[in-house]
Amino acid sequence: MAAVIPIDLKGRRAFVAGVADDVGFGFAIAKALAEAGASVCIGCWPPALGIFETLLRRGKIDESLKLSSGQAFAFEKIYAIDAAYDTLEQVPASVKDSKRYANRGDFTIDGVGKQLVADFGEKPLDIVVHSLANGPEVKLPLVETSREGYLAALGISAYSLVSMVQRWSPLMREGGNFLSLTYIASERVIPGYGGGMSSAKAALESDTRMLAYEAGRRFGVRINTISAGPFASRAASVTGIIDDVIDYYQKNSPIPEKLTTLEVANTAAFLASPLASGITGSTVYVDKGFHAMGRAIPERER
C-alpha cells in the first residue's frame, strides 16, 4: 500500500486576496487551505465587500463553507483591499469619500499589511495568494486599448503582486510563500481577451521569476504562479467569450474534461505547503494539458 503524504498547513496563516463570492478560484483555494489546517484571512475589493458580507450573514454560502469533515470553516478575518493602491496617499479623494469605501479603514496594500501586524503580531503571514485581475477595457482588442486602460490592467493584475512581495515579505514567517494565478493568454493569442490583460499575465509570469530570485535571496520566500485553464467565474464572464473558450479547451485538451476549481485549489495547497519547498519561480499549468497542444484536434479524432 502506497504511503499517504498529507498536506499539513496546521499552525499557518494564509491571506487570499481576491475573494468576493463562493464561485471562483480564490474561494476554492481559501477552502483547500482550510482543509489542510491553515487559518485563512481573505481580502475583498471594497465595492464588492458589502455584498459578500450579506451573503455570509444570511447563510447563502453556508453549503460552500462546509469542509470534507462536515464542519464549516470561518474566515479568521475579512479585510477590504484595493490592490490598485499601494498607500493611502495614492487614493484619490473621490474614491476615499465614496460610499463603497467608507468606513473600510486603510484598504491599500500597505494598509492591509499594517492591519495584519496589528491583529496578529510582527510576523503574521505564512501564505499569500494573489487572486486578483482586472482590465477595465478587457473587451477591447489590444490595438484599440487606451494607455489608461492598459496601465490599469498591468497595475492591478501584475504590479500588485510586486507591491505585496515588497511590503509583505518582511511579515512572513520562515517558509513563507506567495502564489498567483495566470492564464495562457500570456503566451498564446486568445481573441477577445483584450484591454492589455494578455500583457498583464505575461508580466505576472516574468515578475514571478524575478521576484522568486530577488525576494528568495532577500527574505527567504518562495513565489510561484498557477496557469489555470478557463473557468466560468463572474470575473471571467465579463469577457463575453468564456463559454466558447471552455468548450474549445474541452474538445482539444489531452484530458477532454472541464476544469474544476478544486483541481486548481488542490495544486495551490500543495505549492503552499512544505511538500513544495523546492519549487519557486515556476509557472505550474493546471489546464488538463491544453498548454501542451500545438494544434486543434480534428473533429474525427475527438
Going from the C-alpha of 229 to that of each of 184, 200, 233, 249, 287, the distances in angstroms are: 8, 17, 12, 8, 4
Catalytic residue selected from 101, 193, 248, 249: 193
Give yes or no: 183 in active site: yes
Q: Which residues contact 149 (CB under 8 A, 6 or more apart)?
A: 135, 136, 137, 140, 195, 196
Q: Which residues contact 126 (CB under 8 A, 6 or more apart)?
A: 9, 12, 13, 14, 38, 172, 173, 175, 176, 177
Gyration radius from the chain CA atoms: 19
Strand 39-44 relative to strand 222-228, pairing: unpaired
Catalytic residue selected from 101, 183, 213, 249: 183
Classify residue 107 by its DSSP letter: -
Integer Cα distance of 105 and 200 in angstroms: 28
Integer Cα distance of 279 and 240 in angstroms: 35
Give yes or no: 150 in active site: no
Q: Which are the catalytic amino acids? A: 183, 193
